[in-house]
Structure 1
Amino acid sequence: QTTYTDKGEKPEKGKFVKFHHVTFWVGNAKQAAVFYCDKMGFEPVAYKGLETGSREVVSHVIKQDKILFVFESALNPGNEEMGEHLMKHGDGVKDISFQVEDIEFLIKVTKERGAVVVKEPWTEQDSHGKVKYAVVQTYGDTTHTLIEYLGPYKGLFLPGYNASVVKDSLLPKLPPGLLNFIDHIVGNQPDDAMVPVSDWYQNCLLFHRFWSIDDKQIHTQYSSLRSIVVTNYEETIKMPINEPAPGKKKSQIQEYCDYNGGPGVQHIALNTSDIIQTELKILVDFDDKGYLLQIFTKPVQDRPTLFLEVIQRHNHFGFGAGNFKSLFEAIEKDQDARGNLTAYN
């Protein structure tokens, strides 16, 4: 594995602060939100829908400590954009949102460097404050919404949202999830697309390489992967970019791309300070400075696409290279059960 120490020059403006929230497009937002609350320890926090004046799309926002997930569905028949997205990708991540400073500067830079701006900067406000947004395209059909607070915002989530309408009497009886913040979000790419995507983050968002690994280091007897992790200057946002490498059998990265209909978010890693209380069968990776503990869920929908990771770090800033083989072998067992551990073409 390679760890990069050169951040490059600090950008003059346009700071990326942190992950803000992740938006999922799903067939039934209410039920999806309840699943994550009941299974992972989230709580309903905010809502936008017919009752709040949102006539086209419903949004259920759930929260756990600093982690915010938003589940959205179409309210009306004939919503082609959301319908085609679901038909192609199934339930999954549509948007990864970043809190930033100086959106106007960032959009100017990204456009100059060739990024596709899906939506130019606009402002929304309500009685709790004012927020500026913009949207840029990243890999596949995934987008990044940039969010800038124009002064303090005192609402539950963002302008236009009310308190959640979901009241689940089961939640207070469940143990806490103990998840604190988004550690990293992994994007899977087809073969030979990893470097162009990581270059896009470096050129257009002024990120830098943080960590990488190749197929000589990460492989089983059947399959392997390559990965480059990019991050913002402050290193608060980590985005690993994976691609499959040729092997005897089809890589789980390729299986993801096949079932997702192209590139997309493979998994979301959620940081905890007490992994022992959260799950069992924990993977350990370490170096001479520290260690990390990891565990991975199976896919959280019927397609073998998106899954979740729980991670705890002790002075270790890698991504579990020592655990990749164990993870791959576990996924390969499931691949085989699905009939997808087939010869690599």
Structure 2
Amino acid sequence: MDIQSIDHIELFVEDAEEAAVGLRDQFGFAVAGRGGARTGLRGCDSVLLRQHDITLLVTSATRPDHRAAEYVERHGQGVGVIGLRVDDAQAAFAEAVERGAVPVAPPETLGPAGDQVVFASVSAFGDVEHRFVSRSRPDGPFVPLIEETARDRSGGLFTEIDHLAVCVPAGTLKETVRRYEEIFGLRQTFEEQIVVGSQAMDSKVVQNGSGRLTLTIIEPDVTRAPGQIDRFIAAHDGAGVQHIAFLTEDILAAVPESAERGVRFLTTPQSYYEALGQRIGPIGVPVAVLREVNVLADRDPAGVMLQIFTESQHERGTLFYELIDRRGAHTFGSNNIKALYEAVDRQQTRNPTGRA
């Protein structure tokens, strides 16, 4: 199975228009199209958002039996579908099912000859599905059931989805990674245990061959005190996507602009920046500049990464976003993972629901 990249992310929400406006206004996504009963969508309304190589589909149910309604009732608003771009969605679906994937939706071909899109879905983790997507034309429409009004992707500060962080119940990390290796052909590229005070979590990273599908999969360490991963699993009612990371080529411009748009970021204690340069070596950016915008810095053998995380605006305090600027680095730095854990913990302690 040749998974090329993330094709799109579908968010299941209570009100598609309202959620799309938030992503447009705060993160600079362009509204590229809409779909509903008038365009042939069954039981839902959807808004298509684009920015460079990022495609988001925001969907709300118009009937109680639609999957978006069931998802939102159980989990609150969040990621319901991770679309995977492949050469042949029908073949990828058949291969995944043969390898043990649970089918969700059989292959469906949409659109006229020469401009066809094929969708087919299997279960990923929890109530999240992977939707295989293949198109007759790589630059063709997202899907004929969405009436597109704009095709320009050039605007915005974010270029692609760098990775998704997934929280899974304790004791399921190893099995989840095994399924990604055996069913989807991904490989494990990183693992880490993070200990913060009396809490701890274990994480493993899986990637496809191109590196354009990266999942950081995290489980709580139940031998230690309950922490934020336990709280996510409880609040989300099972496994789910904790955060989506947007790649940017200039995080030092993206953070203040996003803040002006209304994005609220997690703060970093000043002690983090003490001896930062000595701890990780040359960064290429003055530490004082990083401190001013609360950006974290770390490195791997290939280079430096700069990161920052938003506060969760989710009604259950779960889903949030990350901005990441890779200046050579390919993996994830241990210091930043620990800093993220501590920052989320501070927010959850201060505001456990994630609401303003």
TM-score for both structures, normalised by structure 1: 0.85
**1:158 aligned partner:** 143
Following TM superposition, by how much is the alpha carbon of 1:164 offset from its aligned partner in structure 2, in angstroms?
Answer: 4.7
2:173 matches 1:233: no
**2:159 aligned partner:** 180
Which of 325, 328, 343 aligns to 1:315? It is 328
2:106 matches 1:92: no
Following TM superposition, by how much is the alpha carbon of 1:248 offset from its aligned partner in structure 2, in angstroms?
Answer: 5.1
Measured in 2, the distance between the counterparts of 1:246 and 1:258 equals 14
2:61 matches 1:74: yes
2:228 matches 1:252: yes
Following TM superposition, by how much is the alpha carbon of 1:72 offset from its aligned partner in structure 2, in angstroms?
Answer: 0.5
**2:26 aligned partner:** 39
Measured in 2, the distance between the counterparts of 1:152 and 1:101 equals 10
- Which ranges of structure 1 fall in alignment gaps of 5 or more residues? 1-13, 166-175, 341-345
Measured in 1, the distance between the counterparts of 2:94 and 2:147 equals 33
Which aligned pairs between 1:116-195 and structure 2 lie closer than 5 A?
Answer: 116-126=102-112, 129-155=115-141, 157-164=142-149, 177-195=156-174
Change (3 A) 1:226 1:66: same
Measured in 2, the distance between the counterparts of 1:244 and 1:236 equals 26
Measured in 1, the distance between the counterparts of 2:137 and 2:31 equals 25
**2:89 aligned partner:** 103
Following TM superposition, by how much is the alpha carbon of 1:52 offset from its aligned partner in structure 2, in angstroms?
Answer: 2.0
Give secondary structure in 2 for the equivalent of 1:219: strand
The letter of the residue matching 1:158 is: V
Following TM superposition, by how much is the alpha carbon of 1:31 offset from its aligned partner in structure 2, in angstroms?
Answer: 0.2
**1:272 aligned partner:** 248
Give secondary structure in 1 for the equivalent of 2:195: coil
**1:251-284 deviation per Cα after TM superposition (whole angstroms, max 9, x unaligned):** 2111111110100011111100000001121000
Which of 41, 48, 51 aligns to 1:54? It is 41
2:298 matches 1:285: yes
On the 8 A contact 1:26/1:86 being kept in 2, the answer is yes
Residues paired across the two proteins, number: 312
The letter of the residue matching 1:223 is: Q
Among the aligned pairs, what percent are the same residue? 30
Mean CA deviation greater in 221-230 or 243-252: 243-252
Measured in 2, the distance between the counterparts of 1:210 and 1:73 equals 35
**1:13-60 deviation per Cα after TM superposition (whole angstroms, max 9, x unaligned):** x31111110001100000000001101111100111133233521110
TM-score for both structures, normalised by structure 2: 0.83
How big is the alpha-carbon RMSD for the aligned residues of Structure 1 and Structure 2?
Answer: 2.0
Following TM superposition, by how much is the alpha carbon of 1:153 offset from its aligned partner in structure 2, in angstroms?
Answer: 4.7
2:186 matches 1:207: yes
Following TM superposition, by how much is the alpha carbon of 1:108 offset from its aligned partner in structure 2, in angstroms?
Answer: 2.7
**1:4 aligned partner:** none
Measured in 1, the distance between the counterparts of 2:114 and 2:99 equals 35
2:339 matches 1:326: yes
- Which ranges of structure 2 fall in alignment gaps of 5 or more residues? 256-292
Which of 9, 12, 17 aligns to 1:30? It is 17
Following TM superposition, by how much is the alpha carbon of 1:320 offset from its aligned partner in structure 2, in angstroms?
Answer: 2.9
Following TM superposition, by how much is the alpha carbon of 1:128 offset from its aligned partner in structure 2, in angstroms?
Answer: 7.3
The letter of the residue matching 1:163 is: E
The letter of the residue matching 1:308 is: Y
On the 8 A contact 1:177/1:278 being kept in 2, the answer is no
On the 8 A contact 1:23/1:94 being kept in 2, the answer is yes
Give secondary structure in 2 for the equivalent of 1:302: coil
On the 8 A contact 1:285/1:320 being kept in 2, the answer is yes
